[in-house]
Amino acid sequence: MMLEVKNISYEVENNGEGIVILNNISFSCKNCENIVITGENGSGKSTLLKILMGILTPTSGKILLDGKDITNFSIDERAKLGIAYSFQIPVTFKGISVERLLKLAGGENANYCDTLSKMGMCAKDYLFREVDKKLSGGEQKRIDLASVLLRNAKLNLFDEPEAGIDIWSFDRLVDIFSNKSANIIVSHQRKLIEKADKILLLKNGEISAFDKTEKVLPLLSEGKICKKLRRENG
């Protein structure tokens, strides 16, 4: 698997004035590679992830998957090619059981009990519950993450997977990204960032740094991003 992002820009209009959200973003992600996208709030992290999934269409630039131009592909088309997406705030499905959702994600014979266990959930307590707002935010998040992992996609896109996750589950969450898929993860959490192969640091919609974790991590101690990381990690 090879994802190539070439000169992606994204602009919106507000009261007749163009506002640049992302400017000339270029990077690549290869098979089994973990990349964390981090940066200050409003730097364009979630926007970039949505563009990769096809939720948003870039103003300019190209996205290639295994050499194929998927820039104008729909969400469904990208999913069929092996891209999976986990929202920061999970989608709920009234009338659909957890078991049915996980079978839709991984197939009838998927080992969803084991996957739920990895997320710190006992399958017998959840399989027959509906994926609705009666579940807590943390439960919804863990089920959403389980459904993504069960897809065994080429490329997983995670938007702040730690959001709403308790500390015990978060420690397990850090370990699940060591799998056969490539992962691009938007996060502010140092534990996740330190586990990455590479860090893509965004600032004001542009790439401030993109390199191996050991080279970019020291840069996070410079400026406001380090203050945010310190607050979130105690």
The predicted pLDDT at position 169 comes to: 66
Q: Over the range 11-38, which residues count as b (16 or more CB within 10 Å of their CB) and which as e?
A: eeeeeeeeeebbbebebebeeebbbbbb
The predicted pLDDT at position 112 comes to: 87
Least confident span in 87-96, 182-191, 213-222, 223-232: 223-232
Whole-angstrom Cα distance, residue 66 to residue 74? 17
Least confident span in 14-18, 109-113, 168-172, 183-187: 168-172
- Per-residue pLDDT of 108-119, as tens digits, reads 888 889 889 888
Q: Which two tokens stand for residue 208?
A: 């401030």
The predicted pLDDT at position 199 comes to: 97
Whole-angstrom Cα distance, residue 170 to residue 116? 14
Mean pLDDT computed over every residue of the chain: 89
Residue 228 has pLDDT above 50, yes or no: no
In order, the DSSP letters of 45-82 are HHHHHHHHHTSS--SEEEEEETTEE-TT--HHHHHHTT
Cβ atoms 160, 187 nearer than 8 A: yes
Q: What are the structural domains of the chain?
A: 2-91+153-232 (3.40.50.300)
Burial class (CB in 10 A: 0-12, 13-18, 19+), 119: buried
The predicted pLDDT at position 68 comes to: 97
> Which of 40-49, 118-127, 160-169 is modeled with the greatest confidence?
40-49
- Helix, strand or coil for residue 205? coil
Residue 84 forms beta bridges with which residues? 156
Residue 38 has pLDDT above 80, yes or no: yes
Whole-angstrom Cα distance, residue 208 to residue 45? 12
Question: What Å distances lie between residue 94 and 84, 98, 135, 137, CA to CA?
Answer: 21, 10, 11, 15
